[in-house]
Amino acid sequence: MPTRKTADTAREHGDWAVPYQPADFTDFDPMAFSWTAKAPQPTLADVAHRLVEAEGPIHRQVLHLHAGEVLFEPRLSAGRKRLVDSAAASLVEDGRLVEVRDFFDLPDRPCMKARWPLPGLTRRPVEHVAPGERERALLGLVTDRPRGLGAEQAVAEAAAFFGWSSRTGSASGRLMSDLYRLRDSGELIGWPDKLESAGGS
């Protein structure tokens, strides 16, 4: 089983590798929020925007989970998940968020970092990590070791970076598809045994 990336082992990587930092809601009073109140109060749109701003690209299901944690409801009902979805949709309509295949992010924010799980935080399954973030990890790993990784090694190292086993689940298949996209777009050369970044970074 691959070792989960930690702050110590992350030093071997460039500045593309960062820990997953949950949104900071220490100034937020969940008791001031009501699902039904009509009076002025913190809104679901506020919560959703702060979560996406700090944690984007964030999958819809992770948005549900973290919104529930912020509002002291770890398990949102289906109806309340729909309310979170509606709040996120209104932000997309207003141009404050973008949505691509169930991932939310800020508009015009390129994915420049890949995030490993801090100890004590739940690992995101591969389906909950945006393809752009997975590709950033693969490209970063190859850049850190130019011509030192083959395709299968890069996939195994990316799986370990995110805390997944490369031998179980769909992690390997998805990461290999990500690697093919990087190759086909011309971002990676030296296929398949001596990978390196075409741009050198």
Secondary structure of the chain as H, E, C letters: CCCCCCCCHHHHCCCCEEECCCCCCCCCCHHHCCCCCCCCCCCHHHHHHHHHHHHCCEEHHHHHHHHHHHCCCCCCCHHHHHHHHHHHHHHHHCCCCEEECCEEECCCCCCCCEEECCCCCCCCCHHHCCHHHHHHHHHHHHHHCCCCCCHHHHHHHHHHHHCCCCCCCCHHHHHHHHHHHHHHCCCEECCCCCCEECCCC
Taking only the tens place, the pLDDT of each residue in 22-74 is 999 999 998 888 888 766 667 899 999 999 999 999 999 999 999 999 999 98
Please determine, for residue 6, whether its predicted confidence score (pLDDT) is greater than 60. no
pTM for the structure as a whole: 0.89
Which of the four pLDDT bands, split at 50, 70 and 90, describes residue 8?
very low
Taking only the tens place, the pLDDT of each residue in 162-178 is 999 866 679 999 999 99
Which of the four pLDDT bands, split at 50, 70 and 90, describes residue 1?
very low
